[in-house]
Amino acid sequence: MSDQDFSVRIHAYDAWKQDLLEALERLQRWLGQHDLDDGEMDLRLYDTREALRSDRLTLAFVAEFSRGKTELINAIFFADLGCRLLPSEAGRTTMCPTELLWDADAGKPYLRLLPIETRSDDRPIRDYRNDPVQWVKLPLPVEDPDQMATTLREIVRTKEVPAEVARRLGFVTGVDAGDGAEAVEIPMWRHAIVSLRHPLLEDGLVILDTPGLNALGQEPELTLNMLPSAQAILFVLAADTGVTQSDLDMWRQCVHPSEDGSNSHIGIALNKIDTLWDELRDQARVDLDIATQRRRSAEILGMPLKQVFPVSAQKGLVARVRNDGDLLQRSGLPALERFFSDQILPNRMRVLHDHVASRVGSLVNQQLHLFENRQAQIRRELANLQALRGKNVDVIEHLMHRSREEQAAYQKNVQSFRASRQVLQAQAKVMLESLSPKAVDGLIDETRRAMSGAWTTVGLKRGMAAFFEGARRMMDQATLQADQTRTLVRAIYRKFHQDHGLPALRPPTYSTRTHQAALTRLLQEAEAYRNSPVTTMTEQSFVIKRFFISLVSRARDIFFQAHQEAEAWFAEVMNPLVRQINEHRKVMERRLDTLRRISQSRETLEARIAELREQAEAVEADVATLDALRSRLVAPPPLAETGPMTAGVPRPQPGSRSVGG
């Protein structure tokens, strides 16, 4: 596997998303042509397309100070510039979270900086993203790499402020307030966004460069929102020190490894292995020392050995700038990049595939089932009409009488179905109330009052725990109601199919399982925040503010999303059965009308047979179209090998990567 494979696969990943988007647009047009689109269906397709268009693969780099994290980013992604893009010289270290991406809407490279003073209000960073007035924006002179690197050094700027000001902004100063005259050094900026036109970034890659533990701990939104939402986390250690206590603290507080072992999205970079290289020692001994550090790091962090990668970012950068293949292999970077290519990208593709399959797959299956049933009904009617050739009037009159009886019985059962829908509406109302934002807001207000009246850190932590206990109970109740509602829906479907011998349909499903899992993960992160030494040492009003901005707002988002999905599910859950009922009613009406006309004229029989044959051909084409669209939308994504993933995707040629505006 070459060092270009990550670039190739990122490009293939983007091409795969574009193919899904094209298939969704074809499905939308097909539904419109057949008058099958409705509000709920349009909304579902729109949401799915927007999820694909806005999807980005976020790789977060996390490390304590002086572990070479920023140099690693330079070496892996930006060595083609021939210089260090991000400041990583001695004495320079990342002071604020920095995102590297390509802002296609802006169309020009830039550096945006959010002043540290914005931490004094209640707005999270995400609310500032669409408020350009609050940011300092600097152009990036991409035609001059040295000047661009100079501009990016703004990211590491600091300034001195009185200790009281630092505390008010949420920094743990370690200085007695006194008369407020003590000077404390804090970061100049709260957040930085670098928009750069680069092939990887254009294909949707976002690189998140984080500061060390002390600075990280002061921005809970980063540790509680941004890092957990990243598709991959690379935790960087130094090979000459191994896992220090500060590394371990950062690992536990910021990375939040899962206790169930589902940590395939986390990699460990054991950086600076070149510090262990020694020309006076046997190479086998050097390799053994590196292997020992690797094994110890894996054991201490509780990670599989295969996810720990010994690397030298500095040597890897030099090797790429000088085109030294031997040094590049010795730096260990290719093995780390294979982890991104073979593990992280396939994981993200599975998640996105599952989202598309769950949101659109059932919709396509419903339409396919509807048209397959229509195809079967046409064939049955065609066979019945062909059998009427040569039959006398009495036989046709008998068939007409039987059809009228079936129609009357069917209409009676439709009335029963409508009564069942009323029962379902009552059940769904209870389910939706258990997820309602109003109920969550009541719990939030209650928690805010309790925490605002707490005078001790213990009281604050008790309030945090009470909020998540209440949220967990609400979600458990919603889960119970959702289970009962699903059972009722299945019973309604089953009864109607059994009464009329219609082909069984599988109703759309709804589950709170993913939301329960998200709430459980958030609870784990809240526990880490509650028990963090930084929380204990930080000024209480700031702790309360950040708790509500970072954690409570995410919990509310989880319930809001669950409520929206439940509403959408209830709005469409009976639609497949309603469509089948209407389709069957039309079939019976057409059959009765055909028999009536046949009894009056035998020429009608042959005309109807010819008409049905044309309909059969059209429906057969529709089934083939839907089946092809389903294959594109729900088929497993190309994951394992470079060949399938890059099919039809031009491979970047050496020297073709560029940065510019």
**Greater model confidence, 137 or 369:** 137
One domain for residues 197 and 267: yes
Predicted confidence at residue 214, as pLDDT, reads: 58
DSSP track, 284-323:
HHHHHHHHHHHHHHHHHHT--GGGEEE--HHHHHHHHHHT
Q: Percentage of residues in the chain with pLDDT exceeding 90?
A: 19
pLDDT digits (tens, 9 = 90+) for 452-470: 766 566 676 777 778 888 8
* 652, 199 contact by CB (below 8 A): yes
User: Is 44 within the bounds of a domain?
Assistant: no
**Residue range 186-215: average pLDDT?**
86
One domain for residues 296 and 406: no
One domain for residues 533 and 465: yes
Contacts with 52 (C-beta within 8 Å, 6 or more apart), sequence order: 17, 20, 21, 24, 352, 356
One domain for residues 301 and 424: no
**Residue range 489-515: average pLDDT?**
79
User: Is 9 within the bounds of a domain?
Assistant: no
Q: How far is CA 309 from CA 206, 268, 338, in A?
A: 21, 6, 11
Predicted confidence at residue 659, as pLDDT, reads: 43
Residue ending a domain, choose from 600, 628, 645 = 600
HSE toward the beta carbon, residue 543, CA cutoff 13 A:
26
User: Is 3 within the bounds of a domain?
Assistant: no
- Identify which of 218-227, 329-338, 551-560 has the greatest average pLDDT: 329-338
Answer yes or no: is pLDDT of 248 > 60. Answer: yes
One domain for residues 493 and 594: yes
Contacts with 466 (C-beta within 8 Å, 6 or more apart), sequence order: 447, 450
Q: How far is 651 from 638, CA to CA, in rounded Å?
A: 16
* Residue 64's pLDDT band (cuts 50, 70, 90): confident
User: Is 381 within the bounds of a domain?
Assistant: no
Predicted confidence at residue 77, as pLDDT, reads: 85
Dihedral pair phi/psi, residue 159, rounded to 5°: -150, 160
Q: How far is 410 from 585, CA to CA, in rounded Å?
A: 8
Predicted confidence at residue 649, as pLDDT, reads: 34
Predicted confidence at residue 643, as pLDDT, reads: 39
Number of other residues whose CB lies within 10 A of the CB of residue 171: 26
Residue ending a domain, choose from 600, 626, 655 = 600
Lowest mean pLDDT among 14-18, 44-48, 253-257, 303-307: 253-257
One domain for residues 75 and 220: yes
* Residue 554's pLDDT band (cuts 50, 70, 90): confident
* Residue 306's pLDDT band (cuts 50, 70, 90): very high
* Residue 174's pLDDT band (cuts 50, 70, 90): low
Predicted confidence at residue 641, as pLDDT, reads: 44
Predicted confidence at residue 530, as pLDDT, reads: 66
One domain for residues 594 and 495: yes
Predicted confidence at residue 219, as pLDDT, reads: 65
Number of other residues whose CB lies within 10 A of the CB of residue 317: 24
One domain for residues 321 and 393: no
Domain residues for the domain of 151 are 55-331
**Residue range 390-417: average pLDDT?**
68
User: Is 494 within the bounds of a domain?
Assistant: yes
**Buried residues in 285-316 as b, exposed as e (16+ CB within 10 A):** eeeebbeebbeebbeebebeeebbbbbbbbbb
- Identify which of 40-44, 153-157, 252-256, 464-468 has the greatest average pLDDT: 153-157
One domain for residues 557 and 480: yes
One domain for residues 434 and 520: yes
Predicted confidence at residue 657, as pLDDT, reads: 36
Residue ending a domain, choose from 600, 625, 649 = 600
Lowest mean pLDDT among 145-159, 406-420, 484-498, 576-590: 406-420
One domain for residues 98 and 173: yes
One domain for residues 468 and 556: yes
Predicted confidence at residue 223, as pLDDT, reads: 63
Answer yes or no: is pLDDT of 180 > 80. Answer: no
Predicted confidence at residue 651, as pLDDT, reads: 31
* 119, 170 contact by CB (below 8 A): yes
* Residue 500's pLDDT band (cuts 50, 70, 90): low
Work out how many domains the chain is built from and give that number: 2
| Model confidence pTM above 0.85 | no
SS3 state of residue 544: helix
| Residue 622 host element (H or E) | helix 602-634
Answer yes or no: is pLDDT of 552 > 70. Answer: yes
Predicted confidence at residue 100, as pLDDT, reads: 93
CATH number at residue 241: 3.40.50.300
Dihedral pair phi/psi, residue 100, rounded to 5°: -110, 125
User: Is 366 within the bounds of a domain?
Assistant: no
User: Is 233 within the bounds of a domain?
Assistant: yes
Strand partners, 99: 193, 208
pLDDT digits (tens, 9 = 90+) for 27-39: 999 998 888 877 7
**Residue range 49-62: average pLDDT?**
89
pLDDT digits (tens, 9 = 90+) for 121-170: 767 788 888 888 999 999 998 888 778 888 988 988 888 989 888 877 87
* Residue 177's pLDDT band (cuts 50, 70, 90): very low
User: Is 95 within the bounds of a domain?
Assistant: yes
Q: How far is CA 428 from CA 269, 434, 487, 570, in A?
A: 49, 10, 12, 7
Average pLDDT of the chain?
A: 80
pLDDT digits (tens, 9 = 90+) for 320-338: 889 999 999 999 999 998 8
Lowest mean pLDDT among 255-269, 414-428, 541-555: 541-555
| Residue 211 host element (H or E) | none
Answer yes or no: is pLDDT of 90 > 60. Answer: no
